[in-house]
């Protein structure tokens, strides 16, 4: 019996190279472990083995069976490799990088927007939303912007054709619709919905009739901020913007306000930032957006008492922040969907 089993193993081992297809493998396997296979037969033969030899022969049978299983595994592995090679042209080396496309990443503007949201949420701001198609009321009138303000000009604002009626959508449905020129619209929408305290940010897309060049795009994104409560001062405004820009651009960042005019804030400022990042674009200071203390006329439009409440507002461009952060010198890169550009911002998708 011992000799038979030894012979069986060496026969099987020698047979490996001849087994090249799955039918060959099935026949090969059957030769040993099929109903009439040699191992099956040997197993049945244990009945005839004298009692005292049974444990030893039993062990031997088990060892033979195990070895045969290893032989089958080798055969099958070789057949599978052959099949893969036939399918892909060459054997697969699992240690090489995957030929699948990389998992992708968020657009750089999305990444910067999410980072701004994260920073401002950490100091209590909630994220509010508003429509991109809005009315003159929300975009201009309620924001204390007079009829003859140049921003309302058809040269600057995309108006929807008069026949585009959104009848009875709300009480302002008689108004001209437009593509919002800034996210400041969300200030009004939020204040009409709730009483103070209000502490919101609103990131979103805006549109202007700008001719596209390295720093202008007819569609771009902004973040609006609004805080209304009792006793809010310019100091609070400066503090939150300092915190935001230091968090975003690094702790060496400085920010400054320059007096300016916006119809919806009084006083109003333009805000600039200076950071090591700016060296990438060869500048000391860069203008990021506007801000100021909410004008009493805006409070009047939403029914807040300016004698009781005060507040600040700010708005700035996300593209500008991303350009500073990454040293990008042309805004058009953001919208061209060129994979060679986008894949440079490939930290893993996480939000
Ligand atoms: N809406 C302004 C713009 O688009 C930015 C801005 C200025 C927003 C002053 C504000 C503000 O909230 O108070 O240029």
Per-residue pLDDT reduced to its tens digit, 339-350: 899 989 986 544
pLDDT at 280 over 90: no
Same domain? 205 vs 344: yes
Q: Measured from the CA of 187, which atom of ligand 1 is nearest?
A: 12
Same domain? 74 vs 194: no
Cα(294) to centroid of ligand 1, in Å? Answer: 11
Same domain? 210 vs 272: yes
Same domain? 120 vs 264: yes
Instruction: With respect to residue 151, please indicate whether it lies within any of the assigned structural domains.
Output: no
Q: What is the pLDDT of residues 23-43, one digit of tens each?
A: 999 999 999 999 999 999 999
Same domain? 211 vs 324: yes
Domain that holds residue 328: 105-131+181-349
Same domain? 340 vs 194: yes
Sign of CA dihedral 270, 276, 280, 283: positive
Same domain? 54 vs 127: no
Instruction: With respect to residue 173, please indicate whether it lies within any of the assigned structural domains.
Output: no
Q: Measured from the CA of 316, which atom of ligand 1 is nearest?
A: 5
Interval 10-22 mean pLDDT:
92
Residue nearest (by alpha carbon) to ligand 1 atom 4: 182
pTM, two decimal places: 0.71
CA angle at 113 for the pair 314 and 117, rounded to the nearest 5°: 65
Same domain? 268 vs 332: yes
Q: Of the candidates 111, 58, 116, 141, which has an alpha carbon nearest to the alpha carbon of residue 328?
A: 111
Mutate which of 202, 262, 299 for ligand 1 pocket (most atoms within 8 A of beta carbon): 262
Question: How many beta carbons lie within 10 A of that of residue 263, not counting itself?
Answer: 17
- pLDDT, the chain, mean: 90
CA 174 to each of CA 136, 152, 164, 240, 295: distance values in angstroms, whole numbers, following the listed order: 10, 17, 11, 38, 26
Q: Is 291 in the pocket of ligand 1 (CB under 6 A)?
A: yes
User: Residue 70 and residue 13: Cα distance in Å, rounded?
Assistant: 10
Give the number of domains in the chain: 2
CA angle at 217 for the pair 137 and 148, rounded to the nearest 5°: 35
Q: Is 289 in the pocket of ligand 1 (CB under 6 A)?
A: yes
Q: What is the pLDDT of residues 327-336, one digit of tens each?
A: 898 999 999 9
Give the domain-ending residue among 88, 119, 145.
Answer: 88
Same domain? 78 vs 202: no
Q: Is 290 in the pocket of ligand 1 (CB under 6 A)?
A: yes
Q: What is the CATH number of the domain that holds 117?
A: 3.30.930.10
Sign of CA dihedral 242, 246, 252, 254: negative
Same domain? 120 vs 8: no
Mutate which of 241, 314, 316, 319 for ligand 1 pocket (most atoms within 8 A of beta carbon): 314
């Amino acid at each position: 019996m011992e000799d038979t089993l030894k012979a069986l193993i060496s026969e099987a081992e020698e047979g490996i190279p001849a087994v090249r297809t799955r039918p060959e493998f099935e026949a090969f396997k059957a030769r040993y472990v099929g109903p009439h296979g040699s191992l099956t037969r040997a197993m049945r033969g244990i009945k005839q083995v004298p009692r005292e030899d049974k444990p030893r022969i039993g062990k031997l049978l088990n060892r033979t069976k195990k070895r045969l299983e290893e032989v089958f595994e080798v055969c099958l592995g070789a057949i599978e490799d052959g099949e893969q090679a036939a399918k892909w042209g060459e054997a697969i080396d699992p240690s090489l990088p995957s030929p699948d496309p990389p998992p992708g990443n968020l657009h750089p503007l999305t990444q910067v927007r999410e980072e701004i949201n994260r920073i401002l949420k950490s100091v209590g701001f909630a994220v509010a939303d508003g429509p991109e198609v809005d009315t003159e009321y929300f975009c201009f009138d309620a924001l204390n912007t007079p009829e003859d303000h140049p921003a309302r000009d058809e040269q600057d604002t995309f108006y929807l054709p008069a026949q585009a009626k959104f009848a009875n959508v709300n009480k302002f449905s008689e108004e001209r619709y437009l593509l919002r020129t800034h996210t400041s619209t969300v200030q009004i929408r939020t204040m009409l919905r709730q009483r103070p305290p209000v502490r919101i940010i609103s990131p979103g897309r805006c549109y202007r009739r700008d001719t596209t060049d390295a720093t202008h795009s007819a569609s771009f994104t902004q973040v609006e901020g609004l805080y209304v409560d009792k006793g809010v001062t310019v100091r609070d405004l400066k503090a939150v913007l300092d915190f935001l820009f230091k968090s975003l651009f690094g702790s060496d960042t400085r920010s400054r306000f320059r007096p300016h005019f916006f119809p919806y804030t009084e006083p109003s400022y333009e805000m600039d930032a200076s950071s090591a990042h700016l060296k990438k674009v060869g500048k000391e200071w860069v203008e990021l957006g506007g801000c100021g203390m909410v004008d009493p006329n805006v409070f009047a439009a939403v029914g807040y008492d300016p004698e009781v409440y005060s507040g600040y507002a700010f708005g700035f461009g996300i593209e500008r922040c991303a350009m500073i952060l990454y040293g990008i010198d042309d805004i058009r890169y953001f919208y061209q969907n060129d994979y060679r550009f986008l894949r440079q911002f490939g930290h893993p998708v996480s939000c």
